[in-house]
Amino acid sequence: MKKFTTFYFESFAFNKQTLTADFLYSFDRSEFFSEQIDFSSDFELREDLDWETLQSLLFHCHLALGISYYKLFPTADLICLSGALDNKQCDFWKKFYIHWLWEFLVKNDIDPAGLFQFSSEACIDYQKHEMQISNRALLPWWGWKDSIVSSILLLGKIDFTPYVFWKIDSIKSATLDILEKPALFVQRKISDHLFKLNKKWYYNGHVPITWIIAFISVVTAYLYDYRYIVLSNEGSADEPNMKWRWIDINHQYSKSLEFEQDFSNYIADYMTDEIKYFSLLRWFSEYSIAQIFSEDAQAYFSSFASCNKNFVITIDKKHRWSWCDRCEKCAFVYLILSAFLPRETLIAIFWEDLFEVVELESSFAWLIWYNADKPFECVWTYEESVYAMYKASKNTSGELPYILAQFHDRVVWEISKIWPEKIEQKLVTRWDEDIIPNEIKKLIFD
């Protein structure tokens, strides 16, 4: 494995005829990577498209997309050649590259000290621009329960369009058919050279796709005239998974309130005042989301999925699209829905009773173990998991299935410390007017 000293953000370009953007990167100006984003769509472009505004928005995407290539061999220096960066921007990008790559650093045992030093050698100073924009919303769509719940809250309240980035798989297609709304699809083509270097034992690992979607969605919103980018990230995204080198590591950092606020401030400082990025479910618990989903989303039961095994880039084409039924994410979704749905409905969704799967015992133990390291998945809070298992046991008539029987005494003991009524009070739906724009808040919650 050849060692590199500097990562360069080389250049970017936009083709007005094909509506594609190309982004170029390199290590030491010798190993190059070119990524393409295809913004072309059947949707109607805004009539007053301004070239300078678009260039400014694409510049920030150039910096965001670079993380996929930088992680091949994290270097101390990252130099931007495509545009100027002030000190505040350098601090922003350093902070977020570190946070976005925490899980990657942990799994590869890479010491972050001395890395992530951003600077610029460019003279072009991209400024934010004023724009006229419609009061419509983009809803990033995964086919998971969270985006489905957001659509339930938005339907009939505001003009929104489901938004798919990168790939439309069978899960997204099936759930979009039920939603009966055409999706605005933006495609991504990653540099083949990335995978070639992965095979040569350069570093590999998790990159939070939500963060990349955040920047690309701002460009999409401008091109197709949408004011709001409505995420479906809920409260548990703020909870860290573990401590490493005395630092809280959060698998869901790009879904956290901290990221949402910092990114919104960055948009306002360097991109535009008119496009708003926020999560509609920020102040919802997973428990309350599962309750809404169970009551109002029956049409999606046979089509949705939340198992991340479906979304691995190098996925085996023979892999069953739906649920692997063996990971922590599957265990959690099964558990949280068990508080509201009968077992026969759960079995129809997951194709088997996960409470009878012996090899999932350690996964369920993680979910209800206070102060345990959370797996690197988008899962639970401790209270939610304990209470969901408590409710599942209470709702079961006759003999308890294997998992519920194994943890029954522990759950009863945990519940005795955090009374059910206190948990119910903690898990009620909340919202905050400082996060959700007032006009959206009035539409949805009033």
Domain of residue 54, residue span = 6-279
- Whether 111 is in a domain gets the answer yes
In this structure, the answer to whether residues 91 and 211 fall within a common structural domain is: yes
Mean pLDDT check: name the lowest of 148-162, 192-206, 409-423. 409-423
In this structure, the answer to whether residues 179 and 312 fall within a common structural domain is: no
In this structure, the answer to whether residues 198 and 50 fall within a common structural domain is: yes
Q: What total of structural domains would you count in the chain? A: 2
- Whether 317 is in a domain gets the answer yes
In this structure, the answer to whether residues 71 and 180 fall within a common structural domain is: yes
In this structure, the answer to whether residues 269 and 296 fall within a common structural domain is: no
Residue 124: the pLDDT is: 95
In this structure, the answer to whether residues 38 and 121 fall within a common structural domain is: yes
In this structure, the answer to whether residues 237 and 293 fall within a common structural domain is: no
- Whether 242 is in a domain gets the answer yes
- Whether 183 is in a domain gets the answer yes
* Domain end marker among 279, 309, 332: 279
Contact between 10 and 26 (Cβ < 8 Å): yes
- Whether 437 is in a domain gets the answer no
Residue 415: the pLDDT is: 81
In this structure, the answer to whether residues 271 and 310 fall within a common structural domain is: no
Task: Please check the confidence at residue 151 and state whether its pLDDT lies above 90.
Answer: yes
In this structure, the answer to whether residues 114 and 241 fall within a common structural domain is: yes
233-247: pLDDT as tens digits = 887 666 665 555 556
Mean predicted confidence (pLDDT) in 260-275:
95
Residue whose C-alpha is closest to residue 336's, from 370, 397, 400, 379: 379
pLDDT, the chain, mean: 87
Residue 382: the pLDDT is: 76
Task: Please check the confidence at residue 319 and state whether its pLDDT lies above 50.
Answer: no
* Domain end marker among 245, 279, 313: 279
pTM: 0.90
Residue 315: the pLDDT is: 43
In this structure, the answer to whether residues 258 and 310 fall within a common structural domain is: no
Please give the C-alpha separations between residue 51 and each of 34, 125, 402, in angstroms, as whole numbers: 22, 15, 62
Residue whose C-alpha is closest to residue 113's, from 94, 131, 126: 94
In this structure, the answer to whether residues 251 and 339 fall within a common structural domain is: no
Mean pLDDT check: name the lowest of 41-50, 316-325, 397-406. 316-325
Helix (H/G/I), strand (E/B), else coil: 266: helix
360-374: pLDDT as tens digits = 998 888 888 755 555
In this structure, the answer to whether residues 75 and 208 fall within a common structural domain is: yes
410-420: pLDDT as tens digits = 888 888 777 77
